[in-house]
């Protein structure tokens, strides 16, 4: 019975062009080259360390990974990396200039340096992973790590003995917030399915099935609006867009419908089971007020301020420029600038009023380094998105899978930045890593292979 269930579940994930792949016929093994062992070990170590370490210690692991890559790793091309780093350099320069114009506390200055230098570090790491690892190795180990990450999160839920009777916030503080990697792993599986390359990942069928179900369970149990939105954007949206475009690769639309049916079944069943609990009900209320939480501009009392805190802090950040010199909005107040929330709130046992950081990464950057710095941050997103788009247009190549995920990850990062700081948030690093890896792949080859949707033929286009 179990064997029949395994084979039946595998039918939903069977690649379009490789329908002969069954549990009885495992794919051949894929060996690592000596060149790839160090970057792969660092990719695995960096991802898993985010499960246990707070932000500062995690950043130290990032620094150690970078040092190891450049001291012990094989030399590689860094063409294209400067297109990611020079905008971040402009932000750091503007923030430094503001220090001399304003009187800021040293600890908050250091915090802001850390925020943007860490961004440069994760972009560099993602670029190096894309440059030093074969795409198939990068993808298959992302799926394998998702099994460990999701399994650990589900273990935390079970070990905590939670009865799902409290609020979503209390549940997450008790069992952990989960990880963004399961979202990326689901995107890897379904994007490979979309490109008919799932078999070529050289993963056994049970690895795929376990990774999918554990990842979906972890995303649902995270009770995170951001992760669910990211899942829809980088997994479902590309399939839907590709189907609507009716490209030759997607003529068998019934296969795409299988993916939607599978996701609808899992998310629907899991959502119904969980949202019937107190935690799920509280989370569904949060989902319902998400838009007003980000856009509201009227607050009757303190309860409404707490409920729509992200809108409140964003408006207070914009108020920072009231009475400032005329050109300050061009270059900002510099690193260390605090934002007056006008209300006191408790944090780690202390009553605070002035905020060193807010949830909206774009507004935060605007306050710190002005229009010039905000434009530089948008340029980073544009470079990431354009590279992903270039790589995604390559045909029959695992690079196209990474490019597609990278491109849609940038879209997700832009949309979630007003809520959780996007690329500035270390919890979103798996999305940023895939986007930065696509930059390395875009500059690694002078040829981009695309499909002409009118005639169904491949055309080599020189970038």
pLDDT of 19 strictly over 60: no
Q: Which of 137-151, 287-301, 364-378 has the lowest mean pLDDT?
A: 287-301
Rounded average pLDDT over 181-188: 93
According to the model, what pLDDT value does residue 450 have? 34
Contact 30, 140 (CB under 8 A): yes
pLDDT of 88 strictly over 60: yes
pLDDT of 8 strictly over 80: no
Rounded average pLDDT over 343-372: 84
According to the model, what pLDDT value does residue 327 have? 85
Considering 65-69, 254-258, 261-265, 354-358, the range whose residues carry the highest mean pLDDT is 65-69
In terms of pLDDT, which residue wins out, 4 or 412? 412
Considering 27-41, 84-98, 176-190, the range whose residues carry the highest mean pLDDT is 84-98
According to the model, what pLDDT value does residue 20 have? 39
- CA–chain centroid gap for 324, Å, is 36
- The Cα–Cα gap between 340 and 157 comes to 37
In terms of pLDDT, which residue wins out, 430 or 255? 430
Instruction: Kindly compute the dihedral angle of the four CA atoms of residues 387, 389, 395, 399, in this order, to the nearest 10 degrees.
Output: 40
Contact 200, 398 (CB under 8 A): yes
Three-state helix/strand/coil letters over the chain? CHHHHHHHHHHHCCCCCCCCCCCCCCCCCCCCCHHHHHHHHHHHHHHHHCCCCCHHHHHHHHHHHHHHHHHHCCCCCCCCHHHHHHHHHHHHHHHHHHHHHCCCCHHHHHHHHHHHHHHHHHHHHHHHHHHHCCHHHHHHHHHHHHHHHHHHHHHHHHHHCCCCCCCHHHHHHHHCCCCCHHHHHHHHHHHHHHCCCCHHHCCCHHHHHHHHHHHHHHHHHCCCHHHHHHHHHHHHHHHHHHHHHCCHHHCCHHHHHHHHHHHHHHHHHHHHHHHCCHHHHHHHHHHHCHHHHHHCCCCCCHHHHHHCHHHHHHHHHHHHHCCCCCCHHHHCCCCCCCEEEEEEEEECCEEEEEECCCCCHHHHHHHHHHHHHHHHHHHHHHHHHHHHHHHHCCCCCHHHHHHHHHHHHHHHHHHHHHHHCHHHCHHHHHHHHHHHHHHHHHHHCCEEEEEECCCCEEEEEEC
Considering the chain, what is the average pLDDT of its residues?
78
pLDDT of 17 strictly over 70: no
pLDDT, tens digit, 9 for 90 and up, residues 292-309: 555 666 665 666 777 777
In terms of pLDDT, which residue wins out, 238 or 279? 238
According to the model, what pLDDT value does residue 96 have? 93
| Cα dist from 334 to 62, 117, 156, 358, whole Å | 25, 15, 41, 15
pLDDT classification of 257: cutoffs 50, 70, 90 = low
According to the model, what pLDDT value does residue 322 have? 86
Q: Which of 143-157, 213-227, 255-269, 312-326 has the lowest mean pLDDT?
A: 255-269
């Amino acid at each position: 019975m179990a064997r029949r269930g395994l084979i039946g579940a595998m039918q939903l994930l069977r690649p379009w062009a490789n329908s002969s792949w069954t549990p009885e016929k495992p794919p051949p093994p894929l060996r690592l080259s000596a060149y790839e062992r160090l970057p792969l070990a660092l990719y695995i170590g960096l991802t898993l360390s985010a499960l246990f370490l707070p932000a500062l210690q995690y950043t130290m692991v990032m620094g150690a990974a970078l040092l190891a890559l450049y001291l012990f790793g094989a030399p590689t091309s860094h063409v294209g990396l400067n297109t990611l780093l020079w905008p971040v350099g402009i932000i750091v320069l503007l923030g430094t200039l503001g220090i001399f114009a304003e009187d800021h506390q040293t600890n908050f200055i250091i915090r802001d340096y850390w925020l943007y230098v860490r961004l440069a570090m994760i972009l560099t790491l993602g670029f190096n992973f894309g440059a030093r690892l074969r795409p198939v190795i990068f993808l298959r180990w992302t799926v394998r790590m998702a099994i460990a990450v999701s399994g650990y999160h589900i273990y935390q839920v079970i070990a905590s003995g939670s009865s799902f009777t409290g609020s979503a916030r209390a549940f997450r503080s008790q069992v952990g917030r989960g990880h963004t990697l399961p979202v990326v792993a689901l995107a890897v599986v379904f994007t490979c399915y979309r490109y008919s390359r799932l078999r070529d990942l050289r993963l056994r069928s049970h690895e795929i099935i376990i990774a999918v179900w554990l990842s979906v369970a972890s995303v649902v149990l995270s009770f995170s609006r951001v992760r669910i939105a990211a899942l829809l954007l980088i997994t479902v949206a590309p399939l839907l867009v590709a189907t609507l475009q009716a490209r030759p690769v997607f003529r068998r639309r019934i296969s795409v419908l299988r993916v939607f049916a599978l996701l609808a079944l899992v998310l629907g069943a899991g959502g119904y089971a969980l949202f019937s609990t107190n935690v799920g009900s509280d989370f569904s209320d949060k989902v319902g007020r998400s838009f007003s939480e980000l856009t509201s501009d009227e607050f009757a009392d303190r309860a409404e301020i707490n409920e729509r805190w992200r809108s409140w802090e964003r408006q207070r950040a914009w108020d920072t420029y009231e009475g400032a010199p005329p050109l300050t909005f061009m270059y900002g107040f510099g690193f260390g600038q605090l934002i007056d929330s006008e209300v006191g709130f408790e944090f780690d046992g202390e009553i605070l009023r002035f905020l060193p950081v807010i949830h909206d990464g774009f507004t935060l950057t605007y306050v710190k380094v002005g229009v010039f710095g905000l434009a530089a941050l948008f340029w980073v997103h544009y470079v990431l998105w354009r590279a992903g788009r270039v790589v995604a247009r390559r045909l029959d190549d695992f690079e196209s899978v990474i490019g597609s995920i990278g491109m849609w990850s940038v879209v997700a990062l832009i949309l979630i930045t007003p809520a959780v700081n996007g690329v500035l948030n270390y919890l979103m690093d798996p999305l940023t890593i895939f986007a930065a890896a696509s930059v390395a792949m875009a500059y690694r080859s002078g040829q981009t292979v695309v499909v002409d949707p009118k005639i169904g033929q491949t055309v080599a286009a020189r970038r």
